């Protein structure tokens, strides 16, 4: 039998800048107030929890904080030329070139900063953080990233959880 808890909004949000690429085009730089929705499924623990709400919320809010007020940089983008020098990222798309201090960047191991990929990255991070805290009862983690009201990308992850990317 599987139980499920859901956590969303409240502290589970972040404001960030990005642009995505698509079919040889690149969006202008812009931002979103992202809302994050998380569903965690699993067997109940001996104390009848899937996972403690407070602990899960704190953990997910912490991951959101890493993205808050940052530029979301898709490090694995095949369309962007990315260099890191003198404490900044240089990001180029054709003639367009941005230089952004490292402290303002959330460098992510994804190929495009779509809501779908952000949901996938968040799901992996949340799964690993929960596993590191001893949660071995979980069977599925689903994350939705809403970049505008009524417009969200979702990803569902099941064990084995993906390993942490190399830094």
Please identify every residue annotated as catalytic.
26, 69, 147
Distances (CA, A) of 125 to 65, 85, 91, 109: 13, 27, 25, 11
Please give the DSSP secondary-structure letter assigned to residue 55. H
Place of tokens 């020098």: 85
Q: How do 138-148 and 151-157 pair as beta strands?
A: antiparallel
Place of tokens 């990222």: 89
* Alpha helices in 18-145, H assignment, sequence order: 53-67, 115-132
């Amino acid at each position: 039998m599987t139980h499920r808890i859901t956590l969303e909004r409240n502290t589970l949000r972040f404001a960030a800048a990005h642009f995505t690429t698509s079919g040889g085009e690149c969006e202008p730089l812009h931002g979103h107030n992202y809302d994050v929705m998380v569903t965690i499924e699993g067997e109940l623990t001996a104390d009848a929890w899937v996972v403690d709400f407070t602990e899960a919320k704190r953990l997910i809010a912490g991951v959101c904080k890493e993205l808050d007020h940052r530029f979301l940089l898709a490090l694995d983008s095949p369309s962007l030329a990315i260099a890191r020098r003198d404490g900044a990222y240089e990001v180029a798309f054709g003639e367009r070139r941005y230089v952004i201090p490292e402290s303002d960047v959330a460098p992510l191991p994804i190929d495009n900063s779509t809501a779908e990929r952000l949901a996938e990255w968040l799901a992996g991070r949340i799964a690993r953080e929960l596993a590191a805290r001893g949660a071995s009862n979980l069977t599925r983690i689903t994350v939705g990233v809403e970049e505008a009201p009524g417009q969200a990308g979702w990803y569902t992850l099941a064990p084995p959880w993906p390993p942490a990317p190399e830094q």
